Amino acid sequence: MTDLHELTARQLIAGYRSGAFTPVDAVRSVLDRVETVNGTVNAFCRVDEEGALEAAQASRERWRRGEPAGLVDGVPVSVKDILLQRGAPTLRGSRTIDPAAGTWDEDAPSVARLREHGAVFIGKTTTPEFGWKGVTDSPLHGVTRNPYDPRRTCGGSSGGSAAAVALGAGPLSLGTDGGGSVRIPAAFCGIFGLKPTYGRVPLYPASAFGTLSHVGPMTRAAADAALLMDVISAPDWRDWSGAAPQAGGFSDALAGGVAGLRIAYSPDLGGSVPVAPPVETAVRRLADRLADLGARVEEAHPPFPGPVEAFHVLWFSGAAKVVDRLTDAQRELLDPGLAEVCEQGARYSALDYLCATQVRMALGHAMGGFHQKYDLLLTPTVPITAFAAGVETPAGAPGRRWTGWTPFTYPFNMTQQPAASLPCGTDPDGLPIGAQLVAARHADALVLRAAHALERGTPPASPRLTPAGR
């Protein structure tokens, strides 16, 4: 049963139910896979083999009695090391956090829901320091690499989760996304990643980046993401800004296809973004596929200029808030890029912040009007494929910061819309390409439904990475 790590969460559950194999078999297979690949990609900063096997044994007994605890009982899951997990220190990629200083006795809401549903926690996944940038390297845990070519970046900031899922080191992972941090690594690693509508998945403690930050599922298939959303979208009293409960399940909404949907296809945001030819070709093929499935597709562009300056005010101010209580000695330990943006963020005034918020509100209003005409917007997730590991920006990118090469992702954190990245091909070097589907606020189920329709009949990709691949 050494290939159980290749299965999706739904396939694992079907196997548990039929008795073909048990959660212990699956978790052992995943742990073996972690041991094989983690030294090459650095997806996990903490692995809890003993705890995972103990939880798997308990799950095996529940399935034997025909009494599973919930929707994902026995399914191996990983958690980005930004989210609290009871019994595990949450170090956020930072040398400024003392693992012995906290009690680590509380779960984030999404983690708590998974625990209630019987999920088996494999470990914590790597993140850049405090999740501040679109690639995954940190002073604490080093560089996380791409499953398809370890010389390349996996993206970020949920890069450890993306690499883990791509390599079969657990079919489900929790990521966070404040400017593309689920979707960017999903695109670079060839998996599915959803940034839900803000508030759809409760978040606690509140992010210093405010309402830009979302919790989202990272999986190998949209159907698994829907299953995970059915678990983690339950309300939690600790999130004061959480959305009302979803009417109906996300899994139940997968059927229906895309026939009759009105889809805007924007290959380059109206000519404002240079897109690598292989990326443009792959996303255009996906637009044609949507049309073949009965959608009404036309080229149309979101009605906004690039809002990067306003985003910088919001994001860099949040970064400054993250570190505002650090001592001078602790600040010396920070990622130099993070220290730089924190200094910039601390110089913004309240008026600067309010002006950026006004830009954000105008952007949300414009996209609300856009979706009166179109059900979905299709764009590339990222205009390029994965570049060299260990740097924030690729050679020739506009600007010094990661936002220069992610123009398709961060605007939809500002508008709080649901947006997903799904794999749609590879470039000539075999590197994955991602396409992004965006819907109006609260239309998360529609994004999942369209992605599921596009995936039908196409098995998830699986990079054949070994330790010798580096």
The residues that are catalytic are 80, 157, 181
Helical axes 23-41 vs 9-18, angle rounded to 10° = 150
Cα–Cα dist 75/23, whole Å:
7
The radius of gyration of the chain's CA atoms, rounded to the nearest angstrom, is 21
Fill in the DSSP letter of residue 379. Answer: E
Annotate 288-299 with three-state secondary structure: HHHHHCCCEEEE
Beta strand residue intervals within 26-158, DSSP E: 44-47, 76-80, 120-125, 137-138, 142-143, 145-146, 149-153
Phi and psi at residue 139, to the nearest 5°: -60, -30
Q: Which residue has the tokens 């678990």?
A: 231
Amino acid at 136: T
Q: Which helix (H) or strand (E) holds 432?
A: strand 432-439
- CA distances (Å), 225 to each of 25, 233, 356, in order? 23, 11, 32
Query: 62 and 23 in contact (C-beta within 8 Å)?
Result: no
Cα–Cα dist 360/410, whole Å:
11
- State both tokens at 390: 């260990």
Cα–Cα dist 355/10, whole Å:
46
Closest CA to 114 of 55, 162, 169, 191: 55
- State both tokens at 214: 């979302």
Before 241, cis peptide (omega within 30)? no
Amino acid at 28: R
Cα–Cα dist 434/452, whole Å:
15
Cα–Cα dist 409/194, whole Å:
12
Q: Could you give the angle at the alpha carbon of 196 between the alpha carbons of 191 and 201, nearest 5°?
A: 115
Strands 419-426 and 76-80: unpaired
